[in-house]
C-alpha cells in the first residue's frame, strides 16, 4: 500500500490543496502502518546459522533468570506485596544499565557490529499506555510471570505457565484485532 501511494505521488502532478490532502492521507497511513511500529532497516543478509547466536543469547538469558530467581512465582509475589527488595533491585539495576547504555550509544554514535547506525525513535505518551500497564501488572501479579521469563519458567519445568504463554499470545492477537478502537 505504501508503494502504491508513493507511485501515486510521482505519477500524478498534484498542486496546492490536493497535494496537502494527499500528504495528510499518506502520513496517516504511514503512522498506522505495522512497518512503522517495529522497523529493522538492516539491508544485510546472513546465512541461517547466524541465528544460533540469538538462541545462545536467549539460553544464557534464561539461565541468568533462573539463577537470579527472577522466574520465581514467590519472588514476584514478594515484590507485589512489598515484602522484598530483590525484584525491585534487579529491575532498578536493569533500568540504570539500560539508561547508561542508551546514553553511551547516543553520545558516541556507536554503530552495530556490522557498521550500521543505531537510531532511537521518539515515542509519544498516550492514555492507553496507562490502561495497558495496569492490565500488564494485573496479569503479572496473578500469574507470577511477565513475558520475559515465560520461556525460562517453562524450560525450568513449570509447564503450567504454558497457559500463561497462550494467554499472552491470545491477548496480543486481541490487541491487534481491536487496536483501532482502543485509546491511543
DSSP state of 47: -
Q: Please tell me which residue, 171 or 30, carries the higher pLDDT value.
A: 171
Q: What percent of the chain has pLDDT over 70?
A: 77
Domain extent for 78: 67-120
Residue 90 to residue 93: CA distance in whole angstroms: 5
DSSP codes, 123-182 = ----THHHHHHHHHHHHHHHHS--TTTHHHHHHTT-TTHHHHHHHHHHHHHHHHHHTTTS
Residue 52 to residue 59: CA distance in whole angstroms: 10
- First vs last Cα of the chain: how many Å apart? 23
Q: Last residue of a domain, which of 120, 150, 165?
A: 120
What does the block give as the cell for 173?
A: 492477537
- With 50 as the cut, is the pLDDT of residue 14 above it? no
Instruction: Indicate the pLDDT class of residue 108, thresholds 50, 70 and 90.
Output: very high
pLDDT at 94: 93
User: Are 101 and 145 part of one and the same domain?
Assistant: no
153, part of any domain = yes
Supply φ then ψ for residue 111, to 5 degrees: -110, 170
26, part of any domain = no
Instruction: Indicate the pLDDT class of residue 15, thresholds 50, 70 and 90.
Output: low
pTM: 0.61
What does the block give as the cell for 179?
A: 487496536
Residue 115 to residue 25: CA distance in whole angstroms: 35
Contact 116, 42 (CB under 8 A): yes
C-alpha separations of 153 from 53, 103, 147, 149 in Å: 21, 32, 10, 6
Q: Last residue of a domain, which of 104, 120, 136?
A: 120
72, part of any domain = yes
User: Are 114 and 127 part of one and the same domain?
Assistant: no
Considering its fold, how many domains does the chain have in total?
Answer: 2
Q: What is the mean pLDDT of residues 59-71?
A: 89
111, part of any domain = yes
pLDDT at 115: 84
Neighbouring C-beta atoms of residue 66, cutoff 10 Å = 16
What does the block give as the cell for 70?
A: 527472577
Question: What is the per-residue pLDDT across 20-52, written as a single tens digit (0 to 9) for each?
Answer: 454 554 444 444 444 445 556 667 788 888 889
Amino acid at each position: 500500500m505504501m508503494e502504491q501511494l508513493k507511485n501515486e505521488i510521482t505519477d500524478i502532478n498534484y498542486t496546492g490543496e490536493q497535494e496537502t490532502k494527499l500528504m495528510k492521507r499518506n502520513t496517516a497511513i504511514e503512522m498506522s502502518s505495522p512497518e512503522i511500529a517495529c522497523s529493522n532497516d538492516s539491508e544485510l543478509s546472513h546465512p541461517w546459522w547466524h541465528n544460533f547466536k540469538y538462541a545462545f543469547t536467549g539460553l544464557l538469558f534464561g539461565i541468568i533468570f533462573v539463577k537470579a530467581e527472577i522466574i520465581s512465582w514467590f519472588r514476584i509475589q514478594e515484590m507485589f506485596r512489598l515484602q522484598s527488595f530483590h525484584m525491585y533491585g534487579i529491575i532498578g539495576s536493569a533500568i540504570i544499565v539500560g539508561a547508561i547504555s542508551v546514553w553511551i550509544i547516543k553520545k558516541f554514535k556507536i554503530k552495530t557490529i556490522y557498521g550500521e547506525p543505531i537510531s532511537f525513535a521518539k515515542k509519544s505518551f498516550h492514555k492507553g499506555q496507562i490502561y495497558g500497564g495496569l492490565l500488564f501488572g494485573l496479569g503479572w501479579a496473578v500469574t507470577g510471570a511477565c513475558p520475559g521469563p515465560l520461556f525460562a519458567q517453562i524450560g525450568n519445568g513449570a509447564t503450567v505457565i504454558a497457559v500463561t504463554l497462550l494467554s499472552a499470545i491470545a491477548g496480543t492477537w486481541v490487541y491487534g484485532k481491536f487496536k483501532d478502537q482502543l485509546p491511543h
